[in-house]
Amino acid sequence: MNFQEIDNTWTLFLDRDGVINVRKMGGYIQDISEFEFLPKVPESIAFFSSKVERIFVVTNQQGIGKGIMTACNLSDIHRYMCEKIETFGGKITACYFAPELKSADAPLRKPNSGMALQAQRDFPEVDFRKSIMVGDTDSDIVFGKKLGMKTVRIKTVEPIGIDADLTVGSLEELMKLWEN
């Protein structure tokens, strides 16, 4: 990935669980007390905010569809997340979520493109060819590739079936590569 070509007209799409915060294996982050940033994420997002115009969080949240949590719980978590990132000088432009069950194959749910298309409706200047999707699962990478985005995979225990344009261990590692 050529970071030199990326300027402030670009957009960054970030998955949440496993990219921004610690993924709760076998469960769902249901309230602020369970939300824990991965190391150096707020600082990394502050760096990305200085490089691109928009940063969107796009996250599948089927815990809502299962009745385990509410959209209000999720809104509180996202407000907390955004406020903490802002204290480091970063900015999340908007958070989009898909509450449907995985089995529903709903248009909003990644790997489907609904959340990106909603972001483009809300921010018409978004050009997917000048966008980067960062995620930790195949569905995140497929989501980005379907729309012609550059893709970055955060390595986790998830099996890799789809290759991303770049694979890194964390947002901090992505930031360091981008800086150099």
Task: Render pLDDT for 13-41 as a digit per residue (tens, 0 to 9).
Answer: 999 999 999 999 888 999 999 999 999 99
Average pLDDT over residues 149-178: 93
**15 is an active site residue:** yes
Query: pLDDT of 117-131, one tens digit each?
Result: 999 999 999 999 999
- Active-site hit among 7, 15, 105, 138: 15
Residues of the domain holding 161: 15-179
The answer to the question of residue 63 being in a domain is yes
Bridge pairing between strands 94-98 and 166-168: unpaired
The answer to the question of residue 6 being in a domain is no
Query: pLDDT of 71-112, one tens digit each?
Result: 999 999 999 999 999 999 999 999 999 999 988 889 999 999
The answer to the question of residue 140 being in a domain is yes
CA–CA separation, 101 vs 79, rounded Å? 23
Query: pLDDT of 39-73, one tens digit each?
Result: 999 999 999 999 999 999 999 999 999 999 999 99
Q: How many CA atoms lie within 13 A of 135 on its CB side?
A: 29
- In this predicted structure, the answer to whether residue 160 has a pLDDT above a threshold of 90 is no
The answer to the question of residue 2 being in a domain is no
- In this predicted structure, the answer to whether residue 157 has a pLDDT above a threshold of 80 is no
Kindly tell me the burial class for residue 76, based on how many C-beta atoms sit within 10 Å of its own C-beta (0-12, 13-18, 19 or more).
middle
Average pLDDT over residues 122-147: 98
Give the closest residue to 10 by CA, choosing from 22, 21, 2, 18. Answer: 2
The answer to the question of residue 80 being in a domain is yes
**23, 28, 34, 35 alpha-carbon torsion, rounded to 10°:** 50
Total number of domains in the chain: 1
What is the per-residue pLDDT for 103? 86
- Active-site hit among 17, 136, 138, 140: 17
The answer to the question of residue 131 being in a domain is yes
* Helix and strand element counts for the chain (H, E): 6, 6
What is the per-residue pLDDT for 106? 94
What is the per-residue pLDDT for 161? 87
**105 is an active site residue:** no
The answer to the question of residue 5 being in a domain is no
The answer to the question of residue 3 being in a domain is no
What is the per-residue pLDDT for 180? 82
Residues 6+ apart with CB under 8 A from 5: none
SS3 (DSSP) at 77: helix
Q: Which CATH number does the domain housing residue 139 bear? A: 3.40.50.1000
Characterise 96 by phi-psi region: left (phi > 0), alpha (psi -120 to 50), beta (else): beta
Edge-first strand order for the sheet with 11-14 is: 94-98, 54-60, 11-14, 131-135, 150-154, 166-168
Which tops the pLDDT comparison, 102 or 160?
102
Kindly tell me the burial class for residue 5, based on how many C-beta atoms sit within 10 Å of its own C-beta (0-12, 13-18, 19 or more).
exposed
What is the per-residue pLDDT for 8? 94
Instruction: Please give the share of the chain, as a percent, with pLDDT higher than 90.
Output: 89
pTM given for the model: 0.95
